[in-house]
Chains A and B, each alone.
Chain A
Amino acid sequence: MKDTFREIKRTLSRFLSIFAIVALGVSFFAGVKATSPDMKLTADKYFDDYRLMDIKLLSTMGFNDDDIKAVERVPGIEGVLPTYSMDALVDVGEKELVIKVLGLPIDKMKGDDKSYINRVKLVEGRLPEKPGECVTERGKMLNPELSIGSKIKLSSGTDKDISESLKVNEYTIVGIVETPYYISFERGTSSIGSGKINSFIMVPQEDFKIPVYTDVFLTVKGARELFCYDDEYDKIVEPVKNALEDTGKARAQIRYDEIISEANAKLEESKKELSEGEEEQKSELAKAASRLESARKQIAKGEEELKNKENEFNKTIKEAEAKINDGYVKLQEGEKEYNQNLQLFIEKKRQAEKELPAAEQQLNNAQKELEAKEPEINQLKEYLAITPNLPEEERHAKEAIIKEYERQREELEKSRAVLEANKKDLSDAEAQLISLRKTLDASKTQLDNEKKTLEASKSKALKELAAARKKLDSSKWELQKGEEEYERQKRESDEKLADARRKIADGEKEISKLEKPKWYVLDRNMHMDFVDYEKAADRIDAIARVFPAFFFLVAALVCLTTMTRMVDEQRINIGTLKALGYGKLSIASKYLLYAMLASFGGSIFGVLAGFKVFPTVIFNAYGIIYTLPPVITNFNVFYAVISTAFAVLVTTAAAWAACYKELMVEPAILMRPKAPKLGKRIFLERINFLWTRFNFIQKVTARNIFRYKKRFFMTVLGIGGCTALLLSGFGLKDSIVSIVTKQFDELYQYDMIVSLKENTDLSDIKEIIDTFGNNSKISDYMFMKEQNIYAVYGNNEKSATLVIPESTERLKDFITLRVRTTGEKVSLTNEGVVLTEKLAKMLGVQKGDDIYIKEGDTKKTKVKIIGITENYVSHYVYMSPTLYESLYGEKVKFQQIAAKTIDTSEAFENKLSTDLLKNSKISSVSFTTGISKNFKDIIGSLNYVVLVLIVSAGVLAFVVLYNLTNINITERLREIATIKVLGFYDNEVSAYVYRENMVLTMMGMALGLLLGIFLHKFIVETAEIDYVMFGRNINILSYIYSSILTIFFSVIVNFVMYFRLTKIDMVESLKSVD
């Protein structure tokens, strides 16, 4: 025991190399093998945790509440989630994305409601809480233009308004989620926009306005506890599925009846509506007509009124004018009179002015006389007064004198008054004249004013009249318009009614044509993502079938060599122990323990590392196309035990076998150095002409190489194995990668497939396509029919697609039919069908055999195979239209168009697709670029897996080379020391050893390349999935890469070994005699 540990310490590098090789082999084997189960396990856990539906129901007519109730009654169902989904368009930046809008049952999300199915995993942000909020996925939706908080506006992409299906059409992104419902990048196809769903959003379920549920998700009791990729799972889901199908049939009938009666009722209603509409139209029209009539009348009245008014106006004006004229005449007369008076007055005045001063003079004279007489009078008067008794006579005389005076005085007074009166008369006359003048002037002004007023009122009246006319005119025009409108409306309502009538007719027809609703009960096996992922895991499994085993084999081989070699070296030790009387077992136990320790330790390490590293690396590579939680790396007991057991067994058995051989020999012989292996002439020496051409060193090398057969084979096989692994790794990559270009560039000449709706008239389509053709977007096209069928040969039955081109001559322009190996063209004649290669292989048929083409369950048609064509993806059976007609007795109903476009850029294709899909007769458009891109994505991840294989093979190659070189050197220590003693320089010593190594490496490499071709073929054939054929080719470059890598490793190993060689101690090496 102690001896074992000491031995390990002494030969640590050997121990470690066994350890490393075993660890590598085991980790690779166990790890790669465990990857597929781990992948499935991770998915299963994810599906369980987030309640991926077990069954999804779809119906051509949706589901109403009664349907849901019926579903809930089906036994074995755990949860039921009726929900909605629809496709919508979103403009993001310059791109128009097609997105799936899914309902999220907000009310069920709190707590652990078992009917909350297809749960979401919130990655960032929060879940929607109210209408107008949505969550989406990280990948495609969120980019520099969209983030949490962004608003998106949805549109329906059809002529229907989106508000018919959704309450809200603008959504704010509030969170990012992941869901088990969508684990791949594929979101399916749509009939709107580009035809390809880019992403999804989830909105509160209440936001939908669709009258019936579009989707129903179900979980099955007990299914969650099972591993969903197991048969057990299918077994538990199957009966529920069948029960649901029955329910579906029953419900479909009920729904059908309902819908029919509903439709009939609706039809009745619309009929009623129609008749009502007719009535309404009549009354409306009558009303409108009467309205028009009254308008007309009013206009006539208006016109008359206007005329009257005009007349009146004219009369009034005339009168007023006459009056004014009169006024003027009178004025003139007045003026004349005035002038006469004035003349008179002026004369009178002149006369008066002449007389007056004289009269005045007279008066004044008289006055003066009077005045002169006055004192005499006054004396008289006084005399009289004083002499009262004067004689009468005298008195009388005196008094007469006074009297005379008095009279004179009065007279004067009188004449003065007359004068004054005359004077006054004159001034009066003047004043009268002045006032007359004034009056005249005033009346003139008045007249003028009146005239002015008249003018004003005249123009005003004229204006009013004009306005009235205008108004009349406009109402006349309005009337005309009204009449036109009336005509139009009449026409329109007629049309509307006709339309309604037609609709009713259509509705009647539709009802008569109405098909029963159909339920689709889809389990997970019909869920793209689920199946895709399973296929991905299976692909890994397929690769893991052969590759790791071979890998492991190489590792085991090297372990075996190393162990054997080790025991050989220990001969003397064994001999000594045996001589000392130790039992066989106790002697062997040291080596067995050594082997066991190394291999078991390596295995444990390998198992632990392998189960962690390989599933993680490969899973992460798939992470590019699948959104899943981190991988669960399970400790796979089965593979752990198997690989460990095998590794330990091989190594220990090798040790035991080697020991046993030695132990059988007598100790005495063991004690002596093993009789040196006889030097032998090698067969090359017999080929004289070759041998003589070798120089001495070459001869030595050649002989050394072939001397130890075992070592030779071990080395060549070891290196060969690694090269083979490398080559098959690279080759696998080539095979996988080449599918895409071969299938989509070489075989498929077309760029686009347009699928038509059923019963579409081809001439219509031709027209549509031709418009694009004329726009030079589509350069060429051909009609095709594709039909799913089964190809049957004996008991073998494979599903395939039957392709019938419009014309066999033109087929070659769209699809290349050729023999893979020779490249020879295969022509499609009316004699029989052409099968794709993989299908033919799976069926086990050859050219000339007869197969059956089965449609549905019963219909079988026998056809002859006239050719087998190269094909990589899916299975096809090509048939000429003539043959189809003669076999099925009916014309081919073409439903696809294969077309070539002039551009393959994404923008161009999106545009073309959008334009095409606008047409109601086209149901879908797909481009080969899109398909090939998807394929490339999937294959891209497989590439990583292959890369893992290559790296692992590289590491193995390195370890193997190191180990073998190590053994080589240890074994020949003495020889090397000898030539060193002989005075070989370090580089010469190295060259001496390396020359052999290089030759062995080259031989191993050559063998490896040869072996690799077969291994590659084997792996490719086992790794292939049913519907894909990998390429069978290995690129020249891969040969070169594998060779270069092998040489590279060999050089590195030799470089490392160089230092070991220089360190070889001649004295020590030559001293020991073992």
Chain B
Amino acid sequence: MASYIELKDVKKIYRMGEVEIRAVDGVSFSIDKGEFVVVVGPSGAGKSTVLNILGGMDSPTSGQIIVDGKEISKYTSKQLAAYRRNDIGFVFQFYNLIQNLTALENVELAIQICKNPLEPKKVLELVGLKERMGNFPAQLSGGEQQRVAIARALAKNPKLLLCDEPTGALDYNTGKSILKLLQDTCRNMGMTVVVITHNSAIAPMADKVIKIKNGRVDGISINDNPISVERIEW
């Protein structure tokens, strides 16, 4: 059986005049459905680029990306947009909430365009923000904002939840609780979650750890027994 997500020799090459920058230089891996995957690697290794390509925000220079049997690497920009709106949920380091909308509204905005969204209020409850639904992002703490961002991503009921350094701007405890939320989501909702981090300490909590270095896959390890976030210290 083919994997749920399959990347085959994906390359992303930027040309800056004479210089050729190989941000991603032949990455191949696969992810199964419902897996919690952590992609680790130093800054500038190309993890974000891989994630962006996987999330349909960017397209590869060459290589194949197959998600749920569809080859998205051949998608047009419109198809990519459709892919993003139906299949992908994004969580960013800096939350990227719309400041002018309340927490609830931010979630609602996302589901305006979805086929079978979840109930925004429930999702917010789920992420523990029942009391703060009517607040604007600026009135929320960083962790809370990230929760809203996760809620927004989840509400779309995506096939794949991609998180780019979700804890990068958060303190230790908050970061932990966010990771917990992600892990729980994966476990409870059977969501496929990919988390990018430079912090290899959190790798043990993943089902699969993909190490990326200089645009290449440095190694893929599978944790048969991922441990809960609470037990990880860094």
Contacts and interface: CB of A to CB of B under 8 A. Distances in A.
Interface of A, secondary structure class, is helix
A680 B52 CA distance: 32
Contacts of A981: 55, 57, 84, 90, 96
Contacts of B118: none
Given A696-B108, A983-B82, A679 B57 contact: no
A707 B85 contact: no
Nearest to A704: B100
Interface stretch (B27-35, B136-144, B209-217, B225-233): B136-144
Given A679-B99, A703-B101, A1067-B57, A1073 B94 contact: yes
Interface in B77-97: 77-78, 81-86, 88, 90, 92, 94, 96-97
A986 B78 contact: yes
A979 B84 CA distance: 10
Contact of B137 (A679, A707, A977, A980): A679
A700 B109 contact: yes
A385 interface: no
Contacts of A703: 100-101
A983 B57 CA distance: 9
A464 interface: no
Contacts of A1066: 52, 57-58
A1018 B180 CA distance: 68
Interface in A966-981: 974-975, 977-981
Nearest to A1069: B96
Contacts of B77: 986, 1062
B139 to A, nearest CB: 7
B138 A982 contact: no
B156 to A, nearest CB: 8
Contacts of B110: 982
B105 interface: yes
Nearest to B85: A983
Nearest to A1071: B48
Contact residues on B (Cβ < 8 Å of other chain), bracket: 35 or more
B102 interface: yes
B113 interface: yes
A679 B88 contact: no
B138 A1067 contact: no
Contact of A985 (B78, B98, B139, B152): B78
B78 A679 contact: no
A386 interface: no
Most buried by A among B52, B82, B99: B99
B112 interface: yes
Interface residues of A, number: 31
Contacts, number: 89
A676 interface: yes
Nearest to B98: A975
Contacts of A676: 99, 137-138
A678 interface: yes
A710 interface: no
A678 B139 contact: yes
Contact of B102 (A679, A975, A1073): A679
Contact of A983 (B58, B84, B97): B84
A678 B136 CA distance: 7
A298 to B, nearest CB: 132
A1059 to B, nearest CB: 13
Interface in A679-714: 679-680, 696-697, 699-700, 703-704, 707
A678 B108 CA distance: 19
Contacts of B83: 983
Contacts of A979: 98, 109
A678 B100 CA distance: 7
Contacts of B108: 696
Contacts of B139: 678-679
B14 to A, nearest CB: 11
A1066 B77 CA distance: 12
A5 interface: no
22 contacts: A676-B138, A679-B102, A679-B136, A696-B109, A703-B100, A704-B100, A975-B99, A977-B96, A978-B96, A978-B97, A980-B84, A981-B84, A982-B84, A982-B85, A983-B82, A983-B113, A984-B81, A984-B113, A985-B78, A1062-B77, A1066-B52, A1067-B58
Interface of B: 48, 52, 55, 57-58, 77-78, 81-86, 88, 90, 92, 94, 96-102, 105, 108-110, 112-113, 136-139, 152, 156
The 4 closest A-B pairs by CB, nearest first: A983-B85, A679-B136, A983-B84, A676-B99
Given A983-B86, A985-B81, A1067-B48, 17 more contacts: A676-B137, A677-B99, A678-B136, A678-B138, A679-B139, A696-B105, A700-B101, A704-B100, A975-B98, A975-B99, A981-B55, A982-B85, A982-B90, A982-B109, A986-B77, A1067-B52, A1070-B96
